[in-house]
Amino acid sequence: MTAEYQAHGDVAVITLNNPPVNGLGLDTRRGIVDGLERAQADAAVKAIVIAGAGGAFSGGADIKEFGTDKSLQEPNLHSVIGAIEQATKPVVAAIHGVCMGGGLELALACHYRIAAPGCNVALPEVKLGLLPGAGGTQRLPRVVGVEAALNMIVSGEPVKSEFIGAVPGQKLFDRMAASPGSLAEEALAFARSVADARPLPLVRNLPCKHPEGDAYFQFARNMVKGMARNFPAPARCVDAVEAATKRKFADGLQYERELFINLMWTPESRALRHLFFAERAASKIADVPADTPQREIRKVGVIGAGTMGGGIGMNFLNAGIPVTILEMKQEALDRGIATIRKNYEAQVKKGKLKEDKYQQRMALLSTTLSYDDLKDCDLVIEAVFEELGVKEAVFKQLDQVARPGAILASNTSTLDVDKIAAFTRRPQDVVGMHFFSPANVMKLLEVVRGKATAKDVLATVMAIAKKIKKTAVVSGVCDGFIGNRMIERYSQQAGFLLDEGCTPSQVDKAIEKFGFAMGPFRMGDLAGNDIGWAIRKRRYVEKPDMKYSKTADLLCEMGRFGQKTGAGWYDYAPGKRDAIPSPVVEKMVEEHRKALGIAPRKISDEEIVQRLVYSLVNEGAKILEEGIAGKAGDIDMVYLTGYGFPIHRGGPMHYASEVGLFNVVQSMKRFARNPLDDARSWEPAPLLARLAAEGKAFA
């Protein structure tokens, strides 16, 4: 059983023991109810304690059960909560570590609660697109007050138990234990002290009012509307808590239940639940066991003090890891260090970084012009010019000086990591660590696994990625790895849409309405259109049969590289970043169409979005099938954390599964019939075609 029963004299203790966070799965719920029955049937038992084994009281309902009948199977969480409230002997919750979601709701049903300090207390359901669905919106306001409860429920953020316990008049905790270590004993003693107390106190019987109800909830609704653009749950949280102040408890509970069930089936909640697991699964590599020994990373070397090198270095400084940055020339080094200082000083100015922390981080930074100073680094990351010859020189030097066992990483965004590894006598120590610009800001890190990359190198890099707060996703070696390989198809479609009748701002507006942070043309102007130009020039040689719109090249031939040249797909006022539709560009596109004899047609937003998003999906399916990405969820994580895909859509692969792969393939067949499009690129990846034919989704 994942809920163990033990009598300690006249107190029965039911211990939740469902690792890793004592999720309230069916088996655990059964164990609680059985334990309550056993304790009430035993005349020697005067009181009952519910506690959690390991580091948590309970992390809430078992999210893995959502969408399965297990989560509804009796005893469901409501029945367990009812059994606790109706117990004939006092039930005391002994809370430590983590008390979240259904775990907190279960504790709120107990007659008493004793908490150890340091426990994270939260109702985080809103982060899953839900709201507390087992009484949390009705009980929490009754013990911590309406406003504190609503803040916790709408934010989903944890609050430390000692902070709550210190609030005058709070009724969440009847007692604070001295420490997590003394909680068990103190809970037993407290249970004995209330063994004869009658009537047994119920949170549901406490009053729940707000002095300026209507005004407060109107204010709350206005606040929530601003922060919850694409998500329905926060507004429903306000509705549920308001019901707690206006309806009888039972009615409020029923209303909460209705709201919860409705939210459970929203695409936004399905997307957030998918991403909850996808984010955690991304750090797991199928053939690298979780207990693979890791190499210790005490000191990091970065080669190249340019924009990328400096940003990469900052990640490690921020995590308290000493960094040595190597450059070839002193002025390049000075420029790089000055940029790092400027970045930190900007954060200090905004109050995001304390001055002493800034100084601490700079104290961890050393610079050098000599490879010899990298000899005791445990991890060296090169961020030099993206040209294989330059990488070869760097890795040959590194091979000479780096200590045995040092991990040698390349920040390359397109080059073959296997070729780079072959420049050394230690290919097993070579890996790609592809950061995204700005490297100290973007969460995504593509960890590129070479054929020879050792498993402990991968395990170490995935662990250090977590330490520097990156979302690491493993990619195999191919041109563009996962993200850039997919965005190439996306950009290809964006160009065709211009040829066929769209303006840059029409395409951008359509995809930004879908939820992307930035459309392809605004993105190009930000990143620099010359980057794509260089890749296409290479592509024209390597893959002459690959079709592209010429507009992007024409734009670059006009020197319109984007914000960095003051003009790109859009015009920009001097020193400003606001994208202004450009008559010059629109004229260039019109003339280009005329030269091709293309009569422009009106293209719907729906077609724009489908062609852009499904081009990602099709390439993603190929990446999955080739084993470049291990899981569809990994591809979603790449696109969310590196390319601004809308979170409420769950990522390209999840979104395609939601639309239905059959429908995606049907649309692709329609696009393939468009003579101006590239029929070949709409041939469904075999995996996509198979899943669609079988009526399946991406796993």
Q: Which residues bind ligand T1G (CB under 6 A)?
A: 20-21, 23, 59-64, 77, 98, 100-102, 105, 124-125, 128, 132-134, 136, 277, 280
- What is the smallest separation between the CB atom of 280 and ligand T1G, expressed in angstroms? 4
> Tell me, what amino acid is at 1?
M
- What is the smallest separation between the CB atom of 505 and ligand T1G, expressed in angstroms? 39
**Residue 537 structure tokens:** 């020039």
Distance between CA atoms of residues 619 and 671, nearest Å: 15
- Closer to ligand T1G at the Cβ: 280 or 696? 280
- What is the smallest separation between the CB atom of 21 and ligand T1G, expressed in angstroms? 4
**Residue 571 structure tokens:** 């015009």
Sign of the C-alpha dihedral computed for residues 342, 344, 347 and 351 taken in this order:
negative
Residue 201: DSSP 8-state: P
User: Is 74 labeled as catalytic in the residue annotation?
Assistant: no
**Residue 96 structure tokens:** 């430590």
- What is the smallest separation between the CB atom of 595 and ligand T1G, expressed in angstroms? 55
- What is the smallest separation between the CB atom of 203 and ligand T1G, expressed in angstroms? 15
Sign of the C-alpha dihedral computed for residues 656, 658, 659 and 665 taken in this order:
positive
> Of residues 4, 74, 85, 105, which has the active-site annotation?
105
Distance between CA atoms of residues 631 and 23, nearest Å: 25
* Chain residue at closest Cβ approach to ligand T1G: 101
- Closer to ligand T1G at the Cβ: 122 or 665? 122
SS3 category, 114? strand
> Tell me, what amino acid is at 261?
I
Radius of gyration of the chain (CA): 29
- In terms of DSSP bridges, do strands 47-52 and 11-16 run parallel, antiparallel, or are they unpaired? parallel
- Closer to ligand T1G at the Cβ: 137 or 484? 137
> Of residues 125, 256, 268, 382, which has the active-site annotation?
125
SS3 category, 546? coil
Distance between CA atoms of residues 267 and 647, nearest Å: 11
Distance between CA atoms of residues 501 and 403, nearest Å: 58
Please answer whether residues 197 and 130 qualify as being in contact, where contact means their C-beta atoms are separated by less than 8 angstroms: no
- What is the smallest separation between the CB atom of 314 and ligand T1G, expressed in angstroms? 24
Bridge partners of 175, per DSSP, are 114
- Closer to ligand T1G at the Cβ: 137 or 618? 137
Please answer whether residues 380 and 303 qualify as being in contact, where contact means their C-beta atoms are separated by less than 8 angstroms: yes
- Closer to ligand T1G at the Cβ: 99 or 188? 99
Please answer whether residues 150 and 123 qualify as being in contact, where contact means their C-beta atoms are separated by less than 8 angstroms: no
From the number of C-beta atoms within 10 Å of its C-beta (0-12, 13-18, 19+), residue 319 rates as middle
> Tell me, what amino acid is at 93?
A
- Closer to ligand T1G at the Cβ: 138 or 491? 138
- Closer to ligand T1G at the Cβ: 64 or 543? 64
- Closer to ligand T1G at the Cβ: 54 or 306? 54
- Closer to ligand T1G at the Cβ: 292 or 347? 292
- What is the smallest separation between the CB atom of 311 and ligand T1G, expressed in angstroms? 26
Distance between CA atoms of residues 322 and 300, nearest Å: 6
In 10 A of CB 648, how many CB atoms?
20
**Residue 536 structure tokens:** 């296409």
User: Is 125 labeled as catalytic in the residue annotation?
Assistant: yes
- What is the smallest separation between the CB atom of 13 and ligand T1G, expressed in angstroms? 22
- What is the smallest separation between the CB atom of 80 and ligand T1G, expressed in angstroms? 11
Nearest to 266 by CA among 657, 652, 649, 632: 649
3-state helix, strand, coil in the chain (%, to 5): 55, 10, 35
Phi-psi region of 186 (alpha: psi -120 to 50; beta: other; left: phi over 0): alpha
- What is the smallest separation between the CB atom of 26 and ligand T1G, expressed in angstroms? 12
Sign of the C-alpha dihedral computed for residues 420, 422, 426 and 429 taken in this order:
positive
**Residue 650 structure tokens:** 């769950």
- Closer to ligand T1G at the Cβ: 123 or 383? 123
**Residue 516 structure tokens:** 């992307």
Nearest to 66 by CA among 282, 284, 277: 277
Cis peptide before 168 (omega within 30 of 0): no
Q: Phi/psi of residue 567, each to 5°?
A: -160, 140
Bridge partners of 472, per DSSP, are 445
Nearest to 30 by CA among 63, 66, 68, 79: 79
Distance of CA 349 to the CA centre of its chain: 28
- What is the smallest separation between the CB atom of 175 and ligand T1G, expressed in angstroms? 24
Distance between CA atoms of residues 56 and 52, nearest Å: 6
- Closer to ligand T1G at the Cβ: 158 or 515? 158
- What is the smallest separation between the CB atom of 445 and ligand T1G, expressed in angstroms? 17
- Closer to ligand T1G at the Cβ: 75 or 501? 75
Residues taking part in catalysis: 105, 125
